[in-house]
Homo-oligomer: A and B are copies of this chain.
Amino acid sequence: MPRQPSAKARMSDVAHAAGVSLVTVSRAINTPDLVAPDTLAAVKAAVDKLGYVPNLTAGSLASNRSRIVAAIVPTISNLVFSETVEALAQRLTQDGYQLLLGQSGYCLDREAALIHAFLGRRVDGLVLTGTNQPTSLRTKLRRAGIPVVQTWDLPGEDGNKAIDMLVGFSNRAAGAAAAAHLLQRGHRTLAFIGADEPRARERLAGFTAAARREVAAELIAPPVQVDAAADSLHRLMARRPDITAVFCNNDLLAAGVLFACQQRGLAVPGSLAVMGFGDLPIARAAHPALSTLRIDRTAIGAQAGRLLLERMAQGGRKSSKPCDIGFEVIQRAST
């Protein structure tokens, strides 16, 4: 009885059907240029006829390259990261790589566990968020000998050096720029609302340093949802009624603060200036439109992908000084 297409065909079956050897099938699939046109056609016909789908797992084992890249972000339910991942995935897909995704939930232990699992999968590259990985992990990654890109930060801010490659910006400088903007707009009593996580704390540090005055801060345990905005604002105003400007560590949070101001009858920016972070689409859509710090999230992902692909292609030397993609103060109506 003839082999059903439903029974999974192997490469040797295709070879048999096409009247060639197994290697030729492999070559027809992976390096068609090295195969004669007629042979190629015969193989293709056999592939279609049998519904053959090459087993990439076997290929990975034999070739010692998985064509998988793993990425770890705190959560994809934050536009700021999902857009970075999206850009990364797009860049990788272009070159035939697949993306294995992990979410750490801002927890270093979960990050370590994910990395262990990914190394077991022999991923060809790894993208991490932040630079606060513990030493043991850094060592483990260096030994693994695969290219690693850390993102969303720059080295040194938390005393760490890059594990390998890096694409990000100075969170401290970003915070300072926000404060400078608000000072320049005439505000003197500043406040901060953000998640209680490393990069937000860096921004707060920069913000505070540049403010040159005590800053009232609300640090919310992640995951931060928009609906935390009203409460945070409330607590802030209770503590320091003289606040005239608040820097929200995320545009969505800032939008929540705008809604809360409306509810309390606080004029923005008249009674309270509101500044966001990220320049997400909602910053333009809000009313008043949000002043914010623009971060090119897409560039981070695309650049991380590019660096990885480069290194995976030429197995090559470590290049790469840290890539600073910077940020930009966007002034709109809310300040």
Question: Chain A residues in contact with chain B, CB under 8 A?
Answer: 5-6, 8, 51, 53-58, 60-61, 66, 68, 75-77, 79, 82-83, 85-86, 89-90, 98-103, 116-122, 140, 143-145, 225-227, 229-230, 252, 255-256, 258-260, 262-263, 280-282, 284-287
Residues of B within 8 A of A82 (CB): 75-77, 82
The docked-state distance in angstroms from the alpha carbon of A280 to that of B227 is: 10
CB distance from A35 to the nearest CB of B (A): 20
Query: Contacts of A60 on B, CB cut-off 8 Å?
Result: 57
- When C-beta atoms are compared, the residue in chain B nearest to A56 turns out to be B120
Interface centre among A68, A76, A230, A256 (most CB of B within 10 A): A76
Q: A143 contacts which chain B residues (CB < 8 A)?
A: 5-6, 51
Judge whether B103 and A101 touch: CB under 8 Å. no
Which residues does chain B contribute within 8 Å of A286, judged by CB atoms?
Answer: 259
| A1 shortest CB reach to chain B, Å | 17
Query: Is the beta-carbon distance between A61 and B53 smaller than 8 angstroms?
Result: no
**B100 with A100: CB separation less than 8 A:** yes
Bound: A53/B230 CA distance, A: 47
CB-CB < 8 A to A103: which residues of B?
86, 89-90
Q: Which single member of B76, B140, B287 contacts A262 (CB below 8 Å)?
A: B287
B285 touching A120 by the CB < 8 A rule? no
Q: Which 8 A-B pairs have the closest CB atoms?
A: A225-B281, A259-B287, A226-B285, A256-B285, A227-B285, A6-B143, A56-B120, A76-B82
Residue of B nearest to A96 (CB): B117
Which B residues lie within 8 Å of A56 (CB)?
Answer: 117, 120-122
Chain B min CB distance to A67 (Å): 9
* A53 with B259: CB separation less than 8 A: no
Sample of 19 more A-B contacts, CB < 8 Å, known A55-B61, A100-B101: A6-B145, A55-B122, A56-B121, A56-B122, A75-B86, A76-B82, A79-B79, A98-B121, A99-B101, A100-B100, A226-B280, A226-B281, A226-B282, A227-B284, A227-B285, A252-B282, A258-B259, A259-B287, A260-B285
